[in-house]
Amino acid sequence: MKNILSMLRLTLVLAAIFCLYYPMVVFGIAQAAPNNGKGEILTVDGKTVGYRRIGQKFDKPGFFWGRPSAIGYDASGSGGSNKGPSNAEYLAQVQHRIDSFLIAHPYLKKSQIPSDIVTASGSGLDPHISAQAALIQVKRVARERQLKESDVRFLVNKHINTPAIAGRETVNVLELNIGLLQLK
């Protein structure tokens, strides 16, 4: 009986720590973060268009396309497909993405397509693409928007994020497309 009471006390103490105090501490810390921990909201003309750190689908020809998502860009839960490069269904899906990308970009060869533009990220919510993936879309976007390629390329270069220490250069697709809307 003594052991049971001891275990019940321990359970109650741990429940209080992990169900009450810990969430309150995390919530308190989040209040010091930008936008009170609700994420970095991006707006255009007073209208919310998305969050800086969450990818979303862009598939119209006049916009830059982001990474595909295995979860349909559903921010309520992140995750990948968990299908590896030996899975026939996954390979067919990637091949379909490559074929679709080549139809929209007939000036490219298959070998010029960066992998990040045809494969989903581990979270399914990655808002970034490589600088190379953005730059190869310049011609299509400029043609669709009837803009000079040099202006669109300048915009992409302006939105390239260079890593502080190591890694590849990336572009936030939502921020880039917002910048694109502001080009005249």
pLDDT in tens, 15-63: 999 999 999 999 889 888 777 777 777 778 888 787 778 888 888 889 9
Q: CA dist 109 to 5, 94, 99, 118, Å?
A: 70, 15, 10, 14
- Residue-wise pLDDT tens digits, 81-116: 788 888 899 899 999 999 999 999 999 999 999 999
Shared domain check, 159 and 82:
yes
Shared domain check, 100 and 14:
no
Residue 150 scores a pLDDT above 70 = yes
Q: What is the residue range of 30's domain?
A: 1-38
Shared domain check, 93 and 59:
yes
Shared domain check, 159 and 72:
yes
For residue 112 the two structure tokens come to 């010029």
Cα–Cα distance for residue pair 113/134, rounded to 1 Å: 11
Cα–Cα distance for residue pair 123/33, rounded to 1 Å: 22
Shared domain check, 92 and 103:
yes
Please name the amino acid found at residue 38: K
pTM for this model (two decimals): 0.79
Parallel, antiparallel, or unpaired for β 128-130 and 47-51?
unpaired
Number of folded domains that form the chain:
2
Shared domain check, 75 and 29:
no
Shared domain check, 60 and 2:
no
